[in-house]
Amino acid sequence: MPTDLLDELQLIQSDSTEIEERFYKDLEFGTGGMRGIIGAGTNRLNIYTVRRAAQGFAHYLSKKGETATQKGVAIAYDSRKYSREFACEMATLLAHTGIKVYLFPDIAPTPLLSFAIRHLQASAGLVLTASHNPPEYNGIKVYNQDGGQITEEDAQSIYAEIQAIGDPLILPAIAWSTDSADERIISIGNEVVEAYCQQVELLLHQRALIEENGDSLSIVYTPLHGTGVKVIPDLLKRVGFTRVQIVEEQATADPRFPTVKAPNPEEPEAFELALQLASEKQADLIMATDPDADRLGVLVKTGTKYEMVNGNQLGAMLLYYLLGQSAVKGRTIQNGLVLKTIVTSDLGEKIAESYGVETLQTLTGFKYIGEKIEECCSLGSRTFVFGYEESYGYLAGDFVRDKDAVQITVLVAEMALYYQQRGKDLFQVLEEIYSKFGYYREKLHSLTVAGKEGREQMEESIANLRKNPPEQIAGYAVSVVEDYELQIKKVMGTGQVEPLFFPKANVIKIILADGSWITVRPSGTEPKMKVYLSTNSPYNKEQAEEKMLLLQGALPDLIRFS
């Protein structure tokens, strides 16, 4: 047993609560793969739980036949603690069972893994990451041959294989070697990164404008100690943005993430060093990516200060820009399709509708957007335009099937430059969008529920809401209750019940008569109850904000923890 795990076990040997927390269950495996705290225990991520997951995945893939094993598995990893070690462990075990492996030789963004699967025509992909979680976390995300995250059916099959293995301590430890003795482990070369970058360049609408005026936009970028530094700065400069400043203190891959509380571009605190540099350089735009570079956060200079753009706002602006550029160039988007999650603002749907483009909603999680792209667009019957979710995930080019902060940094820079040349900053563009389509406000409340007891309270709370849905909230009548666990939609005024054609999920969405809504769901990857709120007003932002305050005030009565 590794020394660090043995030391942990000795430290907790007299702590019954800690022992129960670490061993009361196996680390769960779902459509998002596995994610957990690094450490000793069956409910922790360590060399044994990783080895068990790898063996289970190997059995799953082998049952698909020789073609699947020979097409192989692409593996990537980020800058987190043990990400490389876990990736090498999985690569070695898969190769030992006769499965071809394509392994990134260094840290790489998750969207590059998605692209590599498609480019190499692999059967599947694995990435070692815990995205934007605190440094004590790591995880394994699993991708299918389309480059999207696995479906629920696949996850159940893999989990069944993992459970069938039993005691992970008896699995063989296979020594990792850096030489090329095992021809089944193939290093992913720069040609894959180059092919990806070429696809990103094809997304640009204003290449000539960038070439002529790219030096007029000053950009500060921070990878937050993650993988984005490997691709994003060079890609921005490659397309013509020459004034790119990197936050040097955060440019080094460091699993401790020492300069931030959490490496999450959704949190304003993550931008402190970037703001200092931007103020010094008088930058126009600040961009930050999380450790695996699938999420993007943006701050925009407005006058003498910088304002943060939230995920709903940036998604709406990008959609408005992309559709507008197609219209300006006279491009008709035949059977266009925009995809968003059920907890993402409805503003994007209004924008798409004005251009004759349909919007489809999916469950929360970008994996569902990836699935819908394959379902609707693979046969050429639909044209994918854009997909996004409120949690800072966006996709414009379907050569990747997961959220992709790398391609979006380039598009955000292009968009900012385009409007800059017309005398506008991005918040002025946002105001223009609001004036056309209505004012929207969104909030997310995350209620942390640590440990086994907390999760039980969370489940009890949502069960009570399901059993007794409200007829009114903060003085506003409830129009519709959508229950994704029961897969029904109930019209409150008439009692009419209609089916919901979504996969089953423990989510309840309460829609008010004016179109405002509250959505409640337990997080699938974190010990949190997430409550999403959205309000709108056709007249002014003050009215939308007033509604938001009323809904927030009603939450304690709506969501009760004993």
**SS3 labels along 251-303:** CCCCCCCCCCCCCCCCCHHHHHHHHHHHHHHCCCEEEEECCCCCCEEEEEEEC
Q: Does the active-site annotation cover 381?
A: no
What's the pLDDT at 549? 96
What's the pLDDT at 180? 44
Its pTM stands at 0.94
| 3-188, CATH topology level | Alpha-D-Glucose-1,6-Bisphosphate; Chain A, domain 3 (3.40.120)
Give start and end residues of each alpha helix (H) in 13-74.
Answer: 16-23, 47-62, 66-71
> Rounded to whole angstroms, what are the CA distances from 210 to 205, 318, 424?
10, 17, 16
Per-residue pLDDT of the chain (562 residues), as tens digits, is 577 888 888 888 888 888 888 988 888 888 788 999 999 999 999 999 999 999 999 999 999 999 999 999 999 999 999 999 999 999 999 999 999 999 999 999 999 999 999 999 999 999 999 999 899 999 999 999 999 999 888 999 999 999 999 777 777 777 766 554 467 899 999 999 999 999 999 999 999 999 999 999 999 999 999 999 999 999 999 999 999 999 999 999 999 999 999 999 999 999 999 999 999 999 999 999 999 999 999 999 999 999 999 999 999 999 999 999 998 777 778 899 999 999 999 999 999 999 999 999 999 999 999 999 998 877 778 999 999 999 999 999 999 999 999 999 999 999 999 999 999 999 999 999 999 999 999 999 988 777 777 777 788 888 899 999 999 999 999 999 999 999 999 999 898 999 999 999 999 999 999 999 999 998 765 667 899 999 999 989 999 999 999 999 999 888 876 5
From-to residues of CATH 3.40.120.10 in the chain = 3-188, 196-437
Q: Identify the CA nearest to 113 among candidates 306, 156, 382, 124.
A: 124
What's the pLDDT at 92? 93
pLDDT tens for 242-274 read 999 999 999 999 999 999 999 999 999 999 999
CB 239 within 8 A of CB 204: yes
What's the pLDDT at 446? 86
Considering the segment(s) 196-437 as one domain, its CATH architecture is 3-Layer(aba) Sandwich (3.40)
DSSP-assigned states of every residue in 163-209: HHH--GGGSPP----SSS--TTEEE--HHHHHHHHHHHHTT-S-HHH
CB neighbourhood size of 413 (10 A): 26
What's the pLDDT at 181? 44
From-to residues of CATH 3.30.310.50 in the chain = 439-558
Tokens 């009419």 -> residue: 496
> Rounded to whole angstroms, what are the CA distances from 9 to 19, 24, 133, 410?
9, 15, 24, 47
- Phi/psi for 379 (5° steps) reads -90, 0
What's the pLDDT at 459? 84
Which CATH number among 3.30.1280.10, 3.30.70.270, 3.90.550.10, 3.30.310.50 corresponds to the domain 439-558?
Answer: 3.30.310.50
Exactly one of 79, 131, 391, 516 is catalytic; name it: 131
- In angstroms, the CA 380 to CA 521 distance is 34
- In angstroms, the CA 418 to CA 216 distance is 11
